[in-house]
Amino acid sequence: MRALGIDPGTRTFDLVVVEENKVVWEKSIDTVAIAEKPEVLTEAVEEAGSVDIIAGPSGYGVPVTFNEDIVDPRRFALEVILLTREEDLKIGIEAGELGIKVYEAITKVVVEFWRRKLPVCYIPSTILLPTVPSYRKINKLDMGTADKMAIAVLGVYDQSTRFNVGYSDVSFILVEMGFGYNATIAVDRGRIVDGLGGTLTSTGFLTIGSVDAELAVMGQKWVRSDVFHGGVADICGTLDLDRVIEGYERGEEPYASAIRAMLDGIEKNVRALLTSVREPREILLSGRNSRHPHLRKLVEEKLGDIASVRTVGNLPGARISKEAAQGYAIVGEGIIGGFFNELIKHMRIDKARGTVLDWVFHPRLKYAREWLRKAYTGSVRKPKL
């Protein structure tokens, strides 16, 4: 079987085709190019050649959903997998927010995939998995978006292969350091059991991470595009990670405090997840910023006394693609019964159910919870609740 995975990253969209456990084709496209011209992505899908399944960009996640099950693709894309209303999209586009332009591009791509009747499936995020106990989900949404969940799947396969152990003997804490978000995910006995996604974890490079509720009140009105701000880049006034690291190493402010805040947050997030996987075999690093040699060294020094630290291994044949795209392809291939079927069944990804707001109980969010459930049941034929 040939499976194509698509990771909609903040800096690049990565596409990967796998045959069994090998990457046979890959491509990376600048996110700005896709935001400005979404057909660039559909052209890349055509370039990839014939495939049996496409694991499409899944945002905040949805129970495994195939193209033929979707009846309203725009609503499904915008409201269900991107948790965005039309007015939020309009505000963000008018403000020139790159993140919102990406949301617009993903929406157009999902609609185009549906129109072409391509063999696409959309995949879950961490909070939808039955392997995460329900009490850990209460009043949470982002325990790891679909791309972070997919990286954890790659991590399970990687550790199992590296140590020649069964999936049930795999345990690690994943630290994802993307261009936009950081995230941490706990894996125990080869299954995802907990997670802190990009808006639950600490300060990322672009994003503020979790927000003190008192600050939310002081901000009064927040919009979708606000989640893309408040991180290291805003603290330092630059998108140049090299410049930030250089300033940190010279002890210059605000660079020193920004990096210390991010490192401190990463360590606290990992230690928090030790309550869910008490003796992880490893700490695995992934994401664009984990490849920066100086930053990676700083993270390794912070976390080395918890467990051995290394970067997630790529599938054979991978050269340029990020881990999330490989994970997407693995999930799609396994869902349709291919080489990774046993892995997907072990991790119970095919058993995901509900919406990402099902465990929210704050009265202020009652309408949002009802809105999302209505959008989900109204945009697919067979909702999995």
Mean pLDDT computed over every residue of the chain? 95
Give 139: exposed, middle or buried? Use CB within 10 Å, 0-12, 13-18, 19+. exposed
pLDDT at 127 over 90: yes
The CATH number assigned to the domain holding 331 equals 3.30.420.40
For a pLDDT cut of 90, what percent of the chain falls above it? 86
For a pLDDT cut of 70, what percent of the chain falls above it? 100
Terminal-residue alpha carbon distance, the chain = 30
Assess if residue 349 is contained within a domain: yes
Dig out the tokens for 361 from the structure. 């109980």
What is the model's pTM?
0.96
pLDDT at residue 35, rounded to an integer: 82
Q: How confident is the model at residue 227 (pLDDT cuts 50, 70, 90)?
A: confident
pLDDT in tens, 297-331: 999 999 999 999 999 999 999 999 999 999 999 99
- Cα 12 to chain centroid, rounded: 13
pLDDT in tens, 138-168: 999 999 999 999 999 999 999 999 999 999 9
Q: How confident is the model at residue 256 (pLDDT cuts 50, 70, 90)?
A: very high
pLDDT at residue 325, rounded to an integer: 97
261 CB neighbour count, 10 Å cutoff:
17
Classified as helix, coil or strand, 136 is: helix
Say if residues 121 and 56 touch (Cβ distance below 8 Å): yes
Residue 128 lies in domain: 2-379
| Count of domains observed in the chain | 1
DSSP 363-378: GGGHHHHHHHHHHHHH
Assess if residue 385 is contained within a domain: no
Q: What is the mean pLDDT of residues 272-301?
A: 97
What DSSP designation does 382 have?
S
pLDDT at residue 287, rounded to an integer: 94
Dig out the tokens for 205 from the structure. 């490079």
Assess if residue 105 is contained within a domain: yes
Question: Among 83-87, 189-193, 220-224, which range has the highest average pLDDT?
Answer: 189-193
Assess if residue 277 is contained within a domain: yes
User: Any residues with CB less than 8 A from the CB of 3 and at least 6 apart, and which?
Assistant: 17, 18, 51, 52, 53, 54, 55, 329, 330, 332, 333, 336, 338
Assess if residue 384 is contained within a domain: no
pLDDT at 228 over 80: yes
d(CA 338, CA 146): 20
